[in-house]
Structure 1
Amino acid sequence: MSQEVQINVGGTLFITQWSTLHKHRNTLLGSLSTKSECYSKKKQYFFFDRNPDYFNIILDFYRNGHIHFPTHVCGWIWKQELQFWRIPETEISECCYPTYVKYDKNRAVTEYIKNAFIVHTAEYQTKAVSCLTGISQRIWLFLEEPTSSLPARVCVINHY
């Protein structure tokens, strides 16, 4: 019979079997030992400062062999969780994979739009600055050099 292992995730205690975790030895939980840095000898559990709401899904992966995650949680969060627990993306179930990759596609589109916006904003600002520079020079000439234009001469004559 396999021994129980206690895992504290964000203050919530989870209990499972070592044999369950050892089904996937190349992952973070699959490679745990009581010599691991995250193990508390005093409390006799492993501690991870992660969101416990997501850990149920992670633990179910060890039990069932595939990642099934709710669609209401952002794909970015799942990407971070999979990376932290060292679970390969290939373990995501077929039914959940389209939702997961939609995040990457949306992120790529968002980045493209953001970059295009930044380029156009920079071009607009450059044109605006050069336009303002031209206007500033004309105003300065108008006020400081009375002979620079006909309106400047008229203004000087009316002023005196």
Structure 2
Amino acid sequence: MLYVVGIVCLLSLLVISLLIKGLGGAVSALIMYAQTFNRTVQDLDNRVILNVGGIRFETYKNTLRKIPATRLSRLTESLANYDPVLNEYFFDRHPGVFAQILNYYRTGKLHYPTNVCGPLFEEELEFWGLDANQVEPCCWMTYTCHRDTQQTLAILDTLDIDSDKLTGEELARKFGHEEDYLSGRMSCWQKIKPKIWLLFDEPYSSNAAKIY
């Protein structure tokens, strides 16, 4: 369709130029328009539309080839997630994280979005075929803090805390987290806090607590 419109415009310009400027002016105008039209077509052919979680992103194919051996560097129209009608690729992934991932292709710098948790960010990077170790130094501490939290939880889980003393619901109620506990929305800190309390304030709750 684009080519048809371009040809029609080209012929129209030729007729107008012949009437106004004569043959010489028409040829010059024709060459100039043909060059502009060719650049426009090349630009459109190089563009790619990515629909991620319902949010449309537009970039260039050359941009996606900057990081080889990744999912985005291997896009072809034969993939099942390519829609020829909309001329876009659809990915049912997190659009907020993808904004940072696409920026990584553009700038070569991978930043961590602070509005998502670390494990989710790692899952998205793994899906797109990117290395988490490429996160910029300015974001590294914020990004890796979830690993420290997970390690702390793992250590506390090995302390043999006696769950017969207080149930999980009773502990949550004691610390004012009952609603979050029942709805399954307990944060990492809400899970750690009761275990730390048992460790220091209940000397018979576990072998580790007896040592303290």
TM-score, normalisation: structure 2: 0.53
Partner of 2:162: 121
Contact 2:64 2:72 in 1 (8 A): yes
1:103 maps to 146
> Whose radius of gyration is greater, 1 or 2?
1
Question: Is 1:13 the equivalent of 2:56?
Answer: yes
Provide the residue aligned with 2:72 in structure 1.
Answer: 29
Ranges in structure 2 where 5+ consecutive residues have no aligned partner = 1-41, 166-212
Amino acid at match of 1:121: D
Alignment of 1:11-160 (within 5 A): 11-116=54-159, 119-121=160-162
1:94-153 Cα offsets, whole Å, 9 max, x none, are 11122222111211111221343xx3336x68xxxxxxxxxxxxxxxxxxxxxxxxxxxx
Identity rate of aligned residues, in percent?
A: 32
CA RMSD, Structure 1 to Structure 2 (Å) = 1.9
Contact 1:65 1:91 in 2 (8 A): no
Secondary structure (helix, strand or coil) at the match of 2:114 reads coil
* Matched-pair contact (CA < 8 Å) for 2:49–2:88: yes
Q: How many residues are treated as equivalent by the alignment?
A: 122
- Give the superposition deviation at 1:51: 2.0
Structure 1 outlier segments of 4+, above 3 Å: none
Question: Which stretches in structure 1 are left out of the alignment for 5+ residues?
Answer: 126-160
- Larger RCO: Structure 1 or Structure 2 (Cα < 8 Å, ≥ 6 residues apart)? 1
Q: CA deviation at 1:84?
A: 1.2
